[in-house]
Structure 1
Amino acid sequence: MGWEPAEVTEHEYDEQDRLIRSVTSREPEWDDEERGWMLALTVYRASLCPHCGRPLSVCTDPESEGHWVVPPPRRCFASTALRSAAPEYKDSPQPEALLLHAERR
């Protein structure tokens, strides 16, 4: 589903209209627009806190010190079910290669 660069083949003929050479070229995968998007993504990611993922301008603002609260954690019941099921397969060959998944009833 991704973008494919276009291929262009140019043919060269001699005086008798015989093919003597073909050259295939591709347009560059990284045009100015693509490079711009990737640069913007790099700048955006660099502006985020590596700990909480919020903008550094928000989470490191001295004015916000003491204004953050940590609510009680929530439980991921899909992960709970997966971790509960994993011991059942510990004796199977290469249990680390099993791809367990959770389905909601």
Structure 2
Amino acid sequence: MEHQPGRGGGPFLARRIAADPEFRRPIELADRLGVPPSQLEGREPAETTVYEYADAPARPWWLRWLPWRRAPRLVRAVTTREPLYTEQDREELLAYAIYREGLCPVCGGALEECTSHEATGIRFKAHRLRCRRRDAVLRAAEELENPRRPEALVWSTTTIRR
């Protein structure tokens, strides 16, 4: 798979993976599970076996009158399997690897955007959310006086609907 010209600079498939989360999800899952993407869609590699037989050896003249026949002797069996990973699987996983290389190791965003020049690059605005469940656990932990081995405590929460 060669790099194709375009605004992204990478292969077409890598740009599609970056731009289309619906297309990326099954490839991500296949990569995480260590299976080919086509196997998630139900493809199983075909397997065929060809058997080769030798003719039955000639019987001595005094046994020829017997009604039974000897079965032909199996000489060899050759089994052929389709490869587990198709060409499309390999291209998709390679494109997914190229996509992952282009992600920021700190925030997971596009490295090209995260490391752009501060004056001329894009701007970011931070947003904050509070996990109220974790907040309730932290408040409850603060209320404990001198807990013995606090790292061994297991916390749970109950949801109270209004």
TM-score bin, normalised by smaller chain:
0.5 to 0.7
SS of the residue 2:77 aligns to:
strand
Structure 1, unaligned runs of 5 or more = 85-94
Partner letter of residue 121 of structure 2?
A: S
Partner letter of residue 35 of structure 1?
A: R
Structure 2, unaligned runs of 5 or more = 1-38, 57-71, 141-151
Count of aligned pairs: 90
Q: Give matches, 1:42-81, under 5 Å.
A: 42-62=97-117, 63-64=120-121, 67-75=123-131, 77=133
Corresponding residue of 2:18: none
Separation in 2 of the partners of 1:7 and 1:46?
36
State the Cα RMSD in Å: 3.4
TM-score, normalised with respect to structure 2: 0.43
User: Structure 1: which 4+ aligned runs deviate by more than 4 Å?
Assistant: 79-84, 100-105
Higher relative contact order (CA 8 A, sep 6+): 2
Change (3 A) 1:52 1:20: same
Query: CA-to-partner distance for each residue in 1:51-70, whole Å, 9 max, x for gaps?
Result: 111111111111237x3232
Separation in 1 of the partners of 2:84 and 2:159?
41
Q: Percent identity?
A: 34
Separation in 2 of the partners of 1:26 and 1:102?
52
TM-score, normalised with respect to structure 1: 0.61
Partner letter of residue 72 of structure 1?
A: R
